């Protein structure tokens, strides 16, 4: 988001084996700017993880399945709205829970009504202007790592994704929706604008024209409409848990080569902000760490031996 990839040379990013930094450089910058890590340095993730309950962080529950870290917003009574504590908890997940062997991150909401109803409007009603300003910064410090995470991030959208809830989904690399999910950015009807990245990410995902319609009119989309305009990648079958569907769908990611996944993510994300010449150069630089990796050689050997490769992430 802050363009740090542009400054760093991915070819110099060596293997992630051993004591692995949890993000790419841009994440560390984003997180440390607004809210310093509590209970440990970002350089000592293993220590800070030990001090934390592995199954919860504030209003978020955490579990691991199929190689993915699953983050569930547990605020069904407020339709999983983003309170300050929820935003801070997202930041803490990055700071203290994301582990080197997590191959993907899935975000979902509790219950079937809402993925996330956006900002907690009851909490916001009591806030001063400066508190609201500080909350907007938190979207950039505590949520934005989902858009620069070293592993793919996936929104499993189990119901309404409104306002900041849709923006939360937009930060993710991939979006899977339940058939009854709905989508809208109703902010202009509330006297504000989407400010968790909505005005910037939505045009990049669905195109400038559709983004204008959705933001200026506050149009509410069904899952089928969202699929048609490319806002979501997939709708799960009726009666199937969207989380289970997402886990099955992303299995190829968790079986792929970790360094290649990371390099591909960097190159893809850079395409949002680089012109074509710079982008093609960046793509080559992203190839380099893959070229010198053991996993690339393992893939070639496995192909020759007609077996599945065993990737080690180095
Ligand atoms: N912030 C705080 N509380 C919220 C909330 C939000 N964004 N969205 C819903 N809630 C609360 C409701 O006030 C209600 O609380 P109550 O039981 O104390 O009255 C509870 O969650 C259930 O809401 P309800 O509207 O009855 O649920 P629903 O399942 O029929 O509808 C939504 C769910 C998400 C479609 C609907 O609540 C809604 O449109 N919320 C507003 C979303 C919004 O405008 N977000 C933009 C923020 S910029």
Q: What is the CATH number of domain 259-304?
A: 1.10.12
* DSSP for 91-112, written as a single string: HHIIIII--TT--EEEEEESSS
Cβ of residue 132 lying under 6 Å from some atom of ligand 1: no
Give the whole-angstrom CA distance, residue 142 versus residue 140: 6
Q: What is the CATH number of domain 35-255?
A: 3.90.226.10
**167 annotated active-site:** yes
| Banded model confidence at residue 36, pLDDT cuts 50, 70, 90 | very low
Of 24-28, 153-157, 215-219, 270-274, the poorest mean pLDDT is in 24-28
Q: 31 C-alpha to center of ligand 1: Å?
A: 29
Instruction: Give the global pTM.
Output: 0.88
Q: What is the pLDDT of residue 52?
A: 79
Summarize pLDDT for 218-228 with one digit per residue, the tens: 999 999 999 99
Boundaries of every domain in the chain: 35-255, 259-304
Summarize pLDDT for 54-91 with one digit per residue, the tens: 999 999 999 999 999 999 999 999 999 999 999 999 99
Token pair for residue 288? 């380099």
Nearest-CA residue for atom 10 of ligand 1: 78
Work out the average pLDDT over 183-199. 97
Q: Give yes or no for residue 41 having a pLDDT over 90.
A: no
Q: 81 C-alpha to center of ligand 1: Å?
A: 8
State the alpha helices, DSSP H only, in the chain. Answer: 4-7, 25-34, 45-50, 84-92, 121-125, 129-138, 164-171, 198-206, 208-217, 223-228, 242-249, 251-255, 258-270, 276-291, 294-304
119, 169, 178, 226: the active-site residue: 119
Work out the average pLDDT over 134-161. 96
* DSSP for 133-184, written as a single string: HHHHHHIIIIIGGGGT-SS-EEEEE-SEEETHHHHHHHHSSEEEE-TT-EEE
Work out the average pLDDT over 110-118. 98
Summarize pLDDT for 243-256 with one digit per residue, the tens: 999 999 999 998 89
Q: 117 C-alpha to center of ligand 1: Å?
A: 6
Of 30-39, 135-144, 154-163, the poorest mean pLDDT is in 30-39
| Banded model confidence at residue 162, pLDDT cuts 50, 70, 90 | very high
């Amino acid at each position: 988001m802050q363009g740090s990839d542009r400054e760093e040379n991915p070819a110099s990013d060596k293997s992630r084996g051993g004591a692995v930094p949890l993000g790419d450089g841009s994440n560390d910058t984003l997180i440390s700017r607004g809210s310093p890590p509590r209970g440990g340095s970002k350089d000592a993730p293993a220590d800070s993880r030990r001090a934390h309950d592995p199954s919860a962080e504030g209003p978020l529950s955490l579990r691991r399945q199929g190689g993915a870290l699953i983050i569930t917003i547990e605020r069904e009574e407020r339709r999983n709205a983003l309170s300050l504590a929820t935003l801070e908890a997202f930041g803490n997940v990055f700071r203290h829970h994301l582990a080197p062997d997590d191959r993907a991150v899935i975000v979902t909401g509790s219950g079937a009504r809402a993925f996330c109803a956006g900002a907690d409007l009851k909490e916001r009603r009591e806030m001063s202007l400066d508190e609201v300003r500080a909350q907007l910064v938190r979207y950039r410090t505590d949520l934005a790592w989902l858009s620069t995470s070293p592993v793919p991030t996936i929104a499993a959208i189990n119901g309404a994704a409104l306002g900041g809830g849709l923006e939360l989904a937009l930060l993710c690399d991939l979006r899977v929706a339940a058939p009854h999910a709905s989508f809208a950015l109703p902010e202009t009807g509330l006297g504000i604008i989407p400010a968790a990245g909505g005005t910037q990410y939505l045009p990049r995902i669905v195109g400038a024209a559709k983004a204008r319609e959705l933001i200026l009119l506050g149009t509410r989309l069904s899952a089928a409409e969202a699929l048609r305009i490319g806002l979501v990648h997939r709708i799960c079958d009726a009666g199937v848990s969207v989380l289970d569907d997402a886990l099955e769908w992303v299995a190829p990611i968790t079986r792929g080569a970790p360094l290649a996944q990371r390099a591909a993510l960097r190159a893809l994300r850079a395409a949002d902000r680089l012109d074509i010449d710079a982008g093609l150069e960046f793509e080559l630089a992203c190839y380099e760490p893959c070229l010198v990796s053991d996993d690339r050689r393992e893939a070639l050997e496995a192909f020759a031996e007609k077996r599945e490769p065993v990737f080690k992430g180095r």
